[in-house]
Structure 1
Amino acid sequence: MTRLPVLAAPEPDTRPRNRRRAMRVLLVDEEDRILLFRDSDPGITPVPVFWITPGGGVDPGESDLQAAVREVAEETGLAIGEDDLVGPLAARVVVHGYSDVVTTQDEQFWFVRCRSFEVSTAGHTEVELATMTAHHWWRRDELEATTEEIWPRDLLAIRDLVPEPGTAPREPLDLGDVDESTVAPA
């Protein structure tokens, strides 16, 4: 994704459009907290903020699992293996209308149980360093009570899909087509 911080948003119908596969990972610690990053779109005033799971696009030649492992390492500093990933729990097609690009993502959501750790942003891209301004381990009651924007909006429903240890995997929940835009696509 080529999101760059911009000072003024172009007209919605002139924004470039792209489509990609993306892997999102629910990192849940021993206290059952979910790690989220506060992301933003600096091309809009006032700057909107929204909380997101770690994850991102699948690079050419990568498998979905390889992409999920790489994204977790780059965005959090946590080293996991493909065998740590549980899922996919859910899948959807989501449109994000940022001020400088409209991205349609074919997303899958995975789960990883981990110990709480100090997040490292050393692997963040220049864009991530400019737009991802904080991180927080969220408790369920915090997520249920917050008025802040959480992407995906049905995060707790996805979290509740984690199978009990020893149970058979099931088909991912199809969450359908979703629009979580900050700037509506034209």
Structure 2
Amino acid sequence: MTPDGGHIDRRAARVLLLDPAGRVLMLHGWDPARPSHTYWFTVGGGVEPGESLLDAAVRETFEETGLRFDPLELEGPVRTDTVSFPFDGAWYAQEQSFFVARADGTTVDLSRLNEVEQGCIDEARWWSAADLDATDERFYPPDLPSLLHSLAPSVSPSPSPSPSPAREVA
């Protein structure tokens, strides 16, 4: 919370980055104030002053994966919602819009993560909706499998044998 007990308001662009098999890229991380609270989450982040949601989605995707997209290649937003969550000792009220981007392959580059992200993100992995339905690991948004299914047939619902680590380049 802020010193006055309120939330930090934040606008964010999230990206459902899909590989050719329809799996979504998730990043694995934790809250620096609660390192044991680990979770998987979609690509994306805060909108900078003067930036559109779509431009933020494109920028965040490049920063977090090394993949460049033209804004016209993204679909959406396919959903907008508001969530409240703690991070590094503060509470955030985040209005977030989700876009869909389609990658040609599965290689991602985490070398552009900012300093905070480098300290609390350790892995990237491609997940099918079935993988997410079957896991006991924490992920956000918690209804992501339903969201992926709602995008069908544009998203392949075929399960993979197990979540696939993203191939990283340094």
- Paired with 2:74 and 2:99, the residues of 1 have a C-alpha distance of 6
**Pair 1:69-2:69 in alignment:** no
Question: Matches of residues 26-37 of structure 1 in structure 2 within 5 Å?
Answer: 26-37=16-27
Conserved 8 A contact 2:31-2:88: yes
Task: Indicate the larger mover: 93-102 or 77-86.
Answer: 93-102
Cα distance, 1:13 vs structure 2: 7.9
Aligned residues: 153
Match of 1:60 in 2: 49
Cα distance, 1:141 vs structure 2: 2.1
Question: Matches of residues 145-164 of structure 1 in structure 2 within 5 Å?
Answer: 145-162=134-151
**Pair 1:137-2:119 in alignment:** no
Conserved 8 A contact 2:14-2:57: yes
Q: Please tell me the residue identity of whatever aligns with 1:64.
A: L
Q: TM-score of the superposition, structure 2-length normalised?
A: 0.83
Conserved 8 A contact 1:16-1:100: no
Match of 1:25 in 2: 15
Q: What's the RMSD between the two structures over aligned residues?
A: 1.9
Conserved 8 A contact 1:16-1:101: no
Question: Matches of residues 61-140 of structure 1 in structure 2 within 5 Å?
Answer: 61-140=50-129
- Paired with 1:99 and 1:71, the residues of 2 have a C-alpha distance of 20
- Paired with 2:61 and 2:17, the residues of 1 have a C-alpha distance of 9
**Pair 1:41-2:67 in alignment:** no
Task: Indicate the larger mover: 90-99 or 50-59.
Answer: 90-99
Q: Percent identity?
A: 35
- Paired with 2:76 and 2:146, the residues of 1 have a C-alpha distance of 14
Contiguous gaps of at least 5 residues in structure 2: 155-170
- Paired with 2:79 and 2:34, the residues of 1 have a C-alpha distance of 31
SS class of match (1:74) = helix
- Paired with 2:58 and 2:72, the residues of 1 have a C-alpha distance of 10
Q: TM-score of the superposition, structure 1-length normalised?
A: 0.76
* Bigger strand fraction: 2
Contiguous gaps of at least 5 residues in structure 1: 1-11, 166-186
- Paired with 2:88 and 2:68, the residues of 1 have a C-alpha distance of 32
